[in-house]
Structure 1
Amino acid sequence: VIRPDSSYDDFAQLSYLVYVDVLTGPKLKVLDEAFDLTGLTATVGTIPDGSRPMLTLQESIGMATTLQWQSEALGRSVLETFLPMWSLLGTLVAMLMFWLRRRVIHAADMIDEAQQALRVSEQRFKNISEASSDWIWETDSEQRLTFLSERFTQVTGLACHAWIGRPLTELLAYDKQLMAAIAEGGVAAGRRPIPCEMRDDHQSPRYCQLSARAVRVAEQLQGYQGTVCDITEEIEAKARIEHISQHDALTGLANRHRLNNFLNTRLSEGLSGDHPVFLLALDLDRFKPVNDTFGHAAGDVVLREVAKALTGGTRETDLVARLGGDEFIVVATDCRTQEQAERLCLRLIEQINQPIRIGTNDVSVGASIGIVSAPFDGLTAEDLLRYADIALYEAKSSGRNLFRFYEPAMNERIMERRQLEMDMRQALRRHEFRLDFQPRYDASSQTIVGAEALVRWQHPIRDLLSPACFIPLAEETGLIVELSDWVLREACLNALSWGDELMVSVNLSPVEFQRSDLVDRIATVLKSTGIAPQRLELEITESVMLEDAASALTTMNALKALGTRLSMDDFGTGYSSLSYLRSYPFDGIKIDRSFISGLDQSQSSEAIVHAIVSMGHALSLTVTAEGIETVAQLGKLTELACDQAQGFYLGRPMSPLLFQQVLADARVEHVVEAGGC
């Protein structure tokens, strides 16, 4: 359209210029290649819908023109061009999403694990804190409590809320400045515990250890925090261990360790003649029979009662100790003179002698005491204990329920005794002991009816020793059992060579009756030697019944059951001999030589011997008189109808060979007399 200007709008009157482009084959080819329209064709007119894609042009102006082209795969080029890029991009996006998902899952797992570990850690900390004896605390900078753990109430019985806001020093007794200094010292110093004490809800004392650290924020002190460990049980356990290490478990008295410490401390303080220390060594008398008869439990009861008696009889400043067995020590620090020490000994002996109830029985023990004083007798614990033991030995040797003060001369005697003891042990192995036999005669016919075995010691230095020189020592050291076994065996073996009628008499020690094996030992000798039991006579002194009457009766009945004879030796010297004859299974009695010595000179002695003989016959006992030294004494005994006689006048103790010769001569004399008749 050609217009004169842009305002002219009468298009009907205007001229039109029409441009026509003929779509030739080459031009269609150009369009084909430009727009990827394969097989592009142009057809005048309208073509019905077909299988090929088409485009109709200028349907309203003139004749229409239809363009058609081939399209086997619509959008193939687009797909071939963009699909690889989209696929790669999709793959990358998928991989990125997978990676992100994995990271998110991993992060979530890590968070879960961290939360679980936190919960486990919190539970572990709670379990440990609640299981231990420690409780946790926190305070402000003025040491006022701001936090207490639940363990606080469990340990102390106190409520946490009742103490929040109160000073820690009201709860615990500790040094406030020391705690602050240690808390400021850092980790190493914070591990240093501070000993402290507190009271629980029952007002019972509790022993603790306080650990503390300072809490700072930007170098500003905010407060303190730490733990308190209850060590009451540990302290009490240490106290018990310390007590056990210092005291006797049975009696509760001090033991040897505490005794030595006490003595060393007391001696190191310095002593003077005006303020001496007396040390008493005590040993119980008649304790072993109680232990053997009633058992160790009864013996323990006796020891505890003796401990009470000793404690009750001394002052609080004194020390009473048990060294073991039935040995006790008393350290008297307030006795000023020897007379005061004597009164203390008498008081202790009196209290120990009180009867002690064992079940349904009352038993009695005694005590022998050796006394030593410092600084007079020694200045060391070792010397005092040794000298007291020596004095104790002197007291026991002198009798029962006695005390003796130490004297230097005792030391020489004890050394001599120890040497004799060592020699005696060697003598048993070296066969230095020997037996002599003293004949026993029928008083009327003066024929030998047996012999008494008497042991002698052929000492290599001291020559021949009588029983009085070593039997007491053998009884004290326990060697009496081994020695007695040898005497019994040798006596029975020798008696086998005397014929079938003569008896042999052997003395038994009271110590042997304190042992439970006496009957078995006698039975063993009878079996090993083969001697007839009725040929063995066992001589027993009255002291056997004095030690433990009930146990002695049981043992004597058992000896009688073996078939042996029992004879009471030294009859008439004791206070209860008559009652013993009535109660115990004796076969005979031996009148003590003290009555025989004045028989031919004193009417009273004759009356006593006559009474003993008459009483013995009334009880069907064989009466033997020992210690006959004159023909007049033998004549009197014959007149009084005494059964048997023994003494130097009739025959001195002699060796086994000499005794056999005496027996042989007696048989020859008997044969001659019989032939003469």
Structure 2
Amino acid sequence: MALGGLFAKKSGGDHASGPSRAHGQAGAALSSGQRLALLDQFEDLGISWFWATDENGRLIYLSERAAAQFGERAPDLNGSALADLFELDRDDEEHSQRPLGFLLTARNSIVELPVRLAGCSHELWWSISGKPQFDSTSRFLGYRGSAKDITAVRESQRDASRMAQYDSLTGLANRHRMSKRLTATLIAYKAAKRSCALMMLDLDRFKQVNDTLGHPAGDDLLKQVAQRLNRIVGDRGEIGRLGGDEFQIILPDIDDRGELGDLSDRLIQMISQPYSLDGSRAIIGTSIGIAIAPYDGIEPDALVSATDLALYAAKGGGRGQYRFYSAELKDGANLRREIEEDLRDAIVGDQLELHFQPLVKSEDNHVSGFEALVRWNHPERGWISPQDFVPVAEDTDLINPLGEWVLRTACRQAAEWPGDLRVAVNVSAVQFATADLPKIVKKALAESGLEPSRLELEVTESVFLGDPKGTQLVFRALKELGVRLALDDFGTGYSSLGYLSSAPFDKIKIDQGFVRGATEDDNNNAAIITAIVSLANALKMETVAEGVEAMDELALVKELGASHIQGYIFSRGLPQDEVLERLTNGKLEFDPQGPPKHRADRKRMFRRIGVIHEDHRYEAVMRNLSKTGAAIEGLLDVPLGTQLVLDLGGGQLVVGQVVRSEGFSQGLLFEIPLISDGADGLCTRHRISPYALAAAGMPLAALPPGNYNPTNIGNDGTRSRPTFLQVDVAATRAAHG
């Protein structure tokens, strides 16, 4: 149909109507041919095009220039359903829920509706408007409308929208977008009873890179971190940069803490690999906090808060680690604040003391030196573990005065020892980064009178984070003083063999994590120890195997060539008076004492847990826990092979089979091994779902720290009789003295 015929109705009809006459005589002076020519000229300008459909919604006219945008499809457009030619904007909240066909069927006017041309090789957007047409009998004739190209406008809007939602430096989602995505995801997943994990990452030592290499280098580093995160996470989740050196990852439909722990390990390893920054080399690390909805939080704010607490715990655990959220972390955060306040007084208030653990020669079990270990005897809380207060000191301004106190005290007390035994002192990465460290060491040596060759400074691989050139300058200054240097916990941090060729170490300490399990079958730790010893020998360095506790471990590390050994098999840390007494009496040889064989790490404890058997819940005491099993006390004469469910709290249920039973004590082998919680503890891969608890009548909420009673009750509302007799362990032990 011709354009003039289609649009004649627009100016036809009752020409006597007032509005038509009111426009004056200029319009009436144009003939129909002139009006048609005017419309053609308007189309040729490309400002707008015209389209029309029949009563069935099929296209019967489209301006030639508009049709050309469909490319090869242009000749076949007439007769096509208009609804098949366009796609609606998914982000248009007003129209995205209703297809174009529905809008046309409703026979309402369309005003500047943005649509995307379907089936085109590249993205083209139009804005279409149209009005339904009716004859004098109100019969629907179809639509007559206009269209215009808004592709450039859309691209501009998209760029503006992207700038508002994405980080301009890394291209990752920004804080605003991540917040919206998390909120939308949790709302949808709550309705669908799905889970969602949230990770929070904080870069370790990033500020040092910024300060030493400059902000352009810091920006380049952040871009490379973003690329590495994308490489590991891929399409499993969305990554965002919240600002500074903070990153967040949303991981839909993942609640397996084993899977999340593995992913965290890969992220930590990837991010800690060296970076090339405009000719300079830098090494950083990362700490990761993890929380999972609905277990750790239902609402976005609660989940983010849980993740923050987990990240805080990861950084407090020594950095370069991950942590899962647990309810206990709230108490831990409060404890850290109290420790920080009290530690300031402890440093100047004579509450700290040093204990010394011997480093023993493999060849003859003679002591060659001692490692200084700081201890804190709090006047109210008693002994506080260094694992609790040293990380607090590192996160505050206390690590430098604490480290200086340890160094001065160790030098002074070691100077009292007879002979030429060395003292090893740990130096944190924060201390090492200060330009005054060589001066502080020199002053401690001068005040104590200790020979520099008797002082050994132990540093971890984290000292290489940030500015390797600055690190080399500190190394050089320390070696000029004549002190020895040892690399502690080798292989557990930001490992790179490159720095061993240039760093002037005298000793490598093999982390106890490689000693543990080295005697077990199908374990690669022995091969790793062999490689470290070979590397150290080639570089003319001594080696120390740390954390040796069992006789088979001792025999193995000696066989593999470690030159020195440290661990409970020879001695715990000794106070200064015991060290002096031993050395004065000439007791330089330590006799090994320990179990004959290494056992899988069992975390000793004494805490109450629930034990579920059939439809009954018992109370018991857990004596120790490992990845593969546990020892419990509290049930009398449980037959071998009995299946029990241990309720470890916080929604953690683990199925185990009794493999040892003596009176009221049982040993269990777990059906599914536990996993690391990222700290020094263990946890289950999965937990009771809050959705399941809600289905059983409980309110939908994050898991509380408590336990859960079995709901498996008979149809008549009764339970069966208990199978086992429960014993009060504490009372029984007291009765037997």
Give TM class, smaller chain.
0.3 to 0.5
The structure with the largest strand share of the pair is 2
The structure with the largest helix share of the pair is 1
Greater gyration radius = 1
Instruction: Point out which structure has higher relative CO (alpha carbons under 8 A, 6+ apart).
Output: 2
| TM-score, scaled relative to structure 2 | 0.43
| TM-score, scaled relative to structure 1 | 0.46
